[in-house]
Amino acid sequence: MAQQIAENVRALGDSVGNMSTNKKIADLQRDTKDSHTKQNTTTDYGIKVADLDHWLKTADDKSIGHHSLEDQIARERIHRFDHERIPERVVHARGAGAHGHFKLYESLEDVTMAPVLTDTSRTTPIFIRFSTVQGSRGSADTVRDVRGFAVKFYTEEGNWDIVGNDIPVFFIQESIKFPDIVHAVKPEPDREVPQAQSAHNNFWDFVFMHKEATHMFMWAMSDRGTPRSYRMMQGFGVNTYSLINAKGERVFVKFHFTPELGVHSFMWDEALKLAGQDPDFHRKDLYEAIDNGAYPKWKFGVQTIKEEEQDKFDFDILDATKVWPEDMVPVRYVGEIELNQNVTEYFPETEQVAFCTSHIIPGVDFSNDPLLQGRNFSYFDTQISRLGINWEELPINRPVCPVMNFNRDGQGRHTITKGKANYWPNRFEANPPTKHTGTPGGFESYPTTNPAMKKRMLTPKWTDYLSQAQLFYNSLTKIEKLHLTNALCFELDHCDEPIVYERLVTRLTEIDLELAQMVALKVGAPTPQEQTTKNPGHKAKGLSQFDFLPEKPTIKSRRIAILIADGYDSVSYNGIVAAIKAQSALPFTIAPKRQAVKASDGSSVTPDHFLNGMRSTMFDSVFVPAGEESVKTLMGIGLARFYVRESFGHLKAIGAVGDGVKLVEVAIKEAEGYKVASGDEALVNWYGVVTTTKPDNAASPKGVVEMVKDAKDFIGNY
Ligand code: HDD
């Protein structure tokens, strides 16, 4: 089945992987070898090995005696194994990565001289690593957390890294506080709990004590904290960088990546269950989509502000706890990234890839964003403890353009450099610097003037901590607000020190009284009576994720469960499978058993999974084909009824044909007002994870939004 799906989707493929011409993939071939060959095993120093099963020891036919330390082959294997682990990343330890490319379709030469952003004929190889922040390397994918979105562009002018997140703002303004926020969110030091959760005293204590974190925690508690897929979330560079054009002029810039499939999230209940049912859900989802030819794509855009306009905003444009509202500074979309090749081996690629915010190219420069300035120190530094000083020679990290420097030695040095010139200047005039010519040559920092006073401070503009937290909350739809409220209730309920949840409720009272009252009720804090800071009710576009539904509704790459049992109707079953494939989505047959299931006409199919093997949470949608006997069997199985009811509770599209409708009706009968779609038209109108059994409601993004609004009471009570 999986192979059929892959072929089907590939045949339909609307995108060309361009793998053969990807310069980075070609570069990695230098270090890639195939282990599935008949080549004999050797030791690490190359001799062939005669026995891989026994340690050299004294032995005769009756008994075995002492092991011999002499066995250099056994010792080499154990030594090698003992040192396989390297320190995991101090944050963002759990991640998944893939290769792809960046294509520019509109030149940005008015604002930058970087050819990767001006030359529309170029295709630039990229590697992206997505991650969670809090959990360890072995933690679950679907937990509530910020997601990392780190992009390495292998440009002809050197590597350029945008080390971003799926949320456009950050918890703190100054990087000196980074160890505190990370200590506070990570497991508490006495018992090392909780894992991959922000729902604990230390985190909420920290964010209360840092009012500047309010905006970011509102984002993290919104549905952005539980993405449906890495492929369905936005990416933001977060920090303010600069772009420099050929005339030497500067603009400030923020980078954006917006997914072609739209922004979609799990409901909290789904995310919670999936963390147990399949901790690798996001990792597998990325792999599965790329493997099936459904290549994830994002539009790449920039927001720019001219130097002379930098002071015209209420906030400081260098403050990473603030967005630049899109109504004030529109996003200019100029290119596209696509991921089209999975990694060959996780460790040398996804684990050893190392990003640095300081990796910029001529035409891009930093700003005085205090968070960015600190990050520029931290990333290089952390790679040294993780990978050693020669980490930039590792295959995944080395640039595709020539590298020449005076580096020598250090642990794990690979390059062998001929000649005597290991310093500059030298008598051979070897490896001179490149003059900066206005077009990209040698990197030169943009010249700026700075205040003369040396002080530990920020200016008063940085102390407005609440306006954008209010702006964000005001801009959400009702259902998003409800989800955010529920998330805060869950998190604060996990805090057992009253000072923590009571104080946090007072902070919420500065954002929205109703929100604060609801949370107080659920978490056991005193109910606040009045809003303590005025909320002027401003809204902005680009904050609600409903502003990022796909331009064309699509079910491409969505996973659809088809429930059958013996006696199913092969016509409706085959029909739905074909229709799903025709939409480049993935059908999975689920039955009470995994052995062949017989149709009423005598044909049969082997299911992909049995009911308990893959629960409804693993799918975006459920369909029940016709077949009297099949449906009767399913109706008699509690888990089958629960499958449909749980999907309904998670607002997934549910479709049924013929007798299949009975199962759907039985399963969701307690939710009055929802009609069950029947007939072939149901599929045609299935768009997205949040839809209804009413086909006409689900036919457009607007319909989806309306439906979500309609359904809010049901979700609220779920
Ligand atoms: Fe960071 C990793 C994103 C602030 C210090 N960070 C890391 C990764 C991402 C981010 C996506 C994982 C990269 C990968 O996949 O290998 N970090 C951010 C964003 C921030 C941010 C969007 C706010 C704008 N980070 C930040 C600060 C500091 C760090 C203020 C320290 C001063 N971050 C690190 C680090 C990590 C890291 C300790 C751990 C592993 C690594 O760098 O390579 O250096």
Centroid of ligand 1 to alpha carbon of 172 (angstroms): 13
Sequence letter at residue 522: K
pLDDT of residue 438: 63
Asked if residue 568 and residue 504 are part of one domain, the reply reads no
CATH of the domain at 652: 3.40.50.880
Give percent of the chain with pLDDT exceeding 70: 90
Average pLDDT over residues 119-135: 98
Structure confidence by residue, pLDDT tens digits, 496-532:
999 999 999 999 999 999 999 999 999 999 999 999 9
Report the residue among 89, 130, 134, 167 best suited for mutation to probe ligand 1: largest number of ligand atoms under 8 A from its CB.
Answer: 89
Task: Render 371-389 in DSSP notation, one character per residue.
Answer: HHHHHHHHHHHHHHHHH-T
Asked if residue 702 and residue 689 are part of one domain, the reply reads yes
Q: Does 246 fall in a domain?
A: yes
ipTM over 0.95: yes
Structural domain boundaries, residue 519? 466-547
State the Cα–Cα distance between residues 252 and 270, nearest whole angstrom: 40
Beta strands of 199-249 (E only): which ranges? 235-236, 241-244
Give the three-class secondary structure for 409: coil
Q: Does 148 fall in a domain?
A: yes
The residues, any chain, with a CB within 8 Å of residue 344's CB and separated by 6 or more, are 28, 32
Q: Which of 254, 282, 265, 264 is nearest to 164 (CA)?
A: 254
Q: Which of 393, 423, 451 is the last residue of a domain?
A: 393
Average pLDDT over residues 584-612: 97
Token pair of 454 as six digits: 């040396």
pLDDT band at 197 (very low <50, low <70, confident <90, very high): very high
Q: Does 215 fall in a domain?
A: yes
Q: Does 460 fall in a domain?
A: no
Q: Does 453 fall in a domain?
A: no
The residues, any chain, with a CB within 8 Å of residue 381's CB and separated by 6 or more, are none
pLDDT at position 676 over 60: no
Q: Does 433 fall in a domain?
A: no
> Which residue's CA is the closest to the ligand 1 atom numbered 19?
164
State the Cα–Cα distance between residues 253 and 456, nearest whole angstrom: 25
State the Cα–Cα distance between residues 572 and 224, nearest whole angstrom: 37
Structure confidence by residue, pLDDT tens digits, 259-270:
999 999 999 999
pLDDT band at 272 (very low <50, low <70, confident <90, very high): very high
Asked if residue 558 and residue 474 are part of one domain, the reply reads no
Q: Which of 510, 529, 547 is the last residue of a domain?
A: 547
Domain count, the chain: 3
Report the residue among 86, 88, 90, 91 best suited for mutation to probe ligand 1: largest number of ligand atoms under 8 A from its CB.
Answer: 91
Q: What DSSP state is assigned to residue 347?
A: I
CATH of the domain at 525: 1.20.1370.20
Helix (H) or strand (E) holding 254: strand 250-259
Asked if residue 588 and residue 534 are part of one domain, the reply reads no
Pocket of ligand 1 (CB under 6 A): 89-92, 95, 129, 131, 148, 150, 163-165, 170, 175, 178, 238-239, 320, 354-355, 371, 374-375, 378-379, 382
Q: Which of 378, 393, 408 is the last residue of a domain?
A: 393
Asked if residue 614 and residue 676 are part of one domain, the reply reads yes
Asked if residue 579 and residue 538 are part of one domain, the reply reads no
CATH of the domain at 241: 2.40.180.10
Residue 382 CA, closest ligand 1 atom number: 44
Asked if residue 541 and residue 569 are part of one domain, the reply reads no
Asked if residue 616 and residue 664 are part of one domain, the reply reads yes
CB burial of residue 88 (10 Å; 0-12, 13-18, 19+): middle
| Residues tagged active-site | 92, 165
Asked if residue 524 and residue 616 are part of one domain, the reply reads no
pLDDT at position 253 over 60: yes
Q: Does 459 fall in a domain?
A: no
Average pLDDT over residues 53-58: 97
Measured between its terminal Cα atoms, the distance across the chain in Å is 34
Asked if residue 584 and residue 700 are part of one domain, the reply reads yes
Q: Does 484 fall in a domain?
A: yes
pLDDT of residue 677: 39
Q: Which residue has the higher pLDDT, 463 or 708?
A: 463
Asked if residue 476 and residue 330 are part of one domain, the reply reads no
Asked if residue 344 and residue 227 are part of one domain, the reply reads yes
